[in-house]
């Protein structure tokens, strides 16, 4: 066998996995990724309490003050497993690698979607319910600046941007749901031309009005959010622990399906990944939510 119980993803598979995650997750597209150790790490947010001070020659200097707020990023373990025919055990090495690459492709898509659902909405992606493990460490739980959606999606963005800027933040990007993209695409100027022609026919440009944008249904899935706007570059961090264990289980009922692996000539491939994220400054974000939410 290529794999034994408890072996790790090959470095090339890890690189491929993360590359695919970065292409499918809005949060990964819009923000920076950094490796996260298993025991977590702290990010420190500095706030200067006063403005700079003009000092005359030989004049007295005064204390400006500083606030230091640590944000701890603790990795959360996620897993995905699938049953395959036990022919996997006896296939040629090239065929085994092909199966693992296919598994890796599917796992990457699920991790990308899962990262968004967990960090945007605080849910367990499989059950769709709030996760006690995640707690309030998600945008819906920490970002209290909200805008109720109107018929004018562009005005909603302007209002959200205003809230972020009034709080002293910068807007580097926005993640929007497909329904919100449709609302923007339908807006017209006074001359009847489309306000955002690049959004026509399902278009999903990388920028709008010079601001990075990503369209993804994870923004609204399992939530009333339509858009999340703010400083994704500096105020949100995510990462993964590079050691990604994978195991091939030959016996038992590891997915609690009631079907014994040996009895059905199957093996179970399971991969685990440690993901961590942190919203360093919630006031640097605003959410557009559905009317009536």
pLDDT of residue 49: 60
Torsion angles phi and psi, residue 72, rounded to 5: -95, 130
Written as six digits, the tokens of 230 are 């703010």
DSSP state of 71: E
Which tens digits make up the pLDDT trace of 199-249?
Answer: 998 888 999 999 999 999 999 999 999 999 999 998 998 888 767 788 888
With a cut of 50, which residues of the chain have pLDDT below it?
Answer: 1-5, 44-46, 68
Looking at residue 2, what is its pLDDT? Answer: 39
pLDDT number for residue 4: 42
C-alpha distance from residue 140 to each of 26, 56, 157 (Å): 15, 48, 17
- Of the candidates 253, 212, 282, 287, which has an alpha carbon nearest to the alpha carbon of residue 28? 212
Contact 98, 65 (CB under 8 A): no
pLDDT at residue number 213: 96
pLDDT of 47 reads 53
Mean pLDDT, the chain, integer: 85
β pairing state of 285-289 and 32-33: unpaired
| DSSP one-letter string for 15-69 | HHHHHHHHHH-HHHHHSEE----TT-EEEEEEEE-S------TTPPP----EEEE
Which residues, 6 or more positions from 30, have their beta carbon under 8 angstroms from its beta carbon? 172, 173, 175, 212, 214, 232, 233
The angle subtended at Cα 25 by Cα 164 and Cα 236, nearest 5°, is: 35
Residue 273's pLDDT is what? Answer: 87
| Residue 48 near residue 288, CB atoms below 8 Å | no
Supply the pLDDT for residue 3: 42
Specify the pTM: 0.83
Question: What's the Cα-to-Cα distance from 46 to each of 16, 18, 67, 147, 277, rounded to whole Å?
Answer: 35, 30, 6, 27, 19
pLDDT tens by residue, 242-274: 677 888 888 999 999 999 999 999 999 888 888
Per-residue pLDDT, 24: 84
All domains in the chain, ordered by first residue: 11-46+70-288 (3.30.2320.10)
């Amino acid at each position: 066998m290529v794999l034994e119980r408890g072996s790790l993803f090959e470095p090339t598979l890890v690189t491929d996995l993360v590359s695919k995650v970065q292409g499918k997750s809005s949060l990964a597209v819009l923000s920076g990724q950094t490796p996260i150790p298993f025991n977590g790490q702290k990010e420190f947010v500095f706030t200067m309490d006063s403005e700079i001070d003009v000092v005359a020659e030989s004049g007295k200097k005064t204390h400006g003050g500083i606030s230091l707020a640590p944000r701890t990023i603790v990795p959360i373990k996620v897993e995905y497993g699938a049953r395959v025919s036990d022919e996997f055990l006896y296939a040629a090495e090239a065929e085994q690698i092909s199966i693992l690459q296919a598994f890796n492709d599917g796992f990457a898509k699920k991790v990308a979607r899962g990262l968004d659902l967990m960090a945007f909405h605080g849910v367990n992606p499989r059950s769709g319910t709030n996760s006690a493990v995640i707690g309030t460490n998600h945008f819906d739980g920490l970002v209290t600046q909200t805008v109720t959606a109107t018929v004018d999606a562009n005005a909603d963005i302007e209002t959200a941007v205003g809230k972020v800027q009034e709080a002293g933040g910068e807007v580097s990007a926005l993640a929007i749901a497909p329904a919100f993209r449709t609302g923007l695409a339908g807006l017209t100027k006074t001359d009847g031309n489309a306000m955002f022609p690049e959004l026509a026919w399902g278009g999903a440009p990388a920028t709008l009005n010079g601001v990075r944008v990503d369209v993804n249904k994870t923004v609204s899935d399992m939530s009333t959010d339509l858009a999340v706007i703010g400083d994704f570059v500096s105020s949100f961090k995510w990462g993964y622990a590079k050691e990604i264990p994978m195991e091939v289980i030959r016996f038992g009922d590891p997915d609690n399906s009631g079907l014994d692996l040996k009895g059905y000539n199957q093996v179970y491939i399971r991969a685990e990944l440690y993901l961590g994220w942190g919203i360093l400054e919630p006031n640097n974000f605003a959410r557009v939510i559905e009317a009536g939410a």
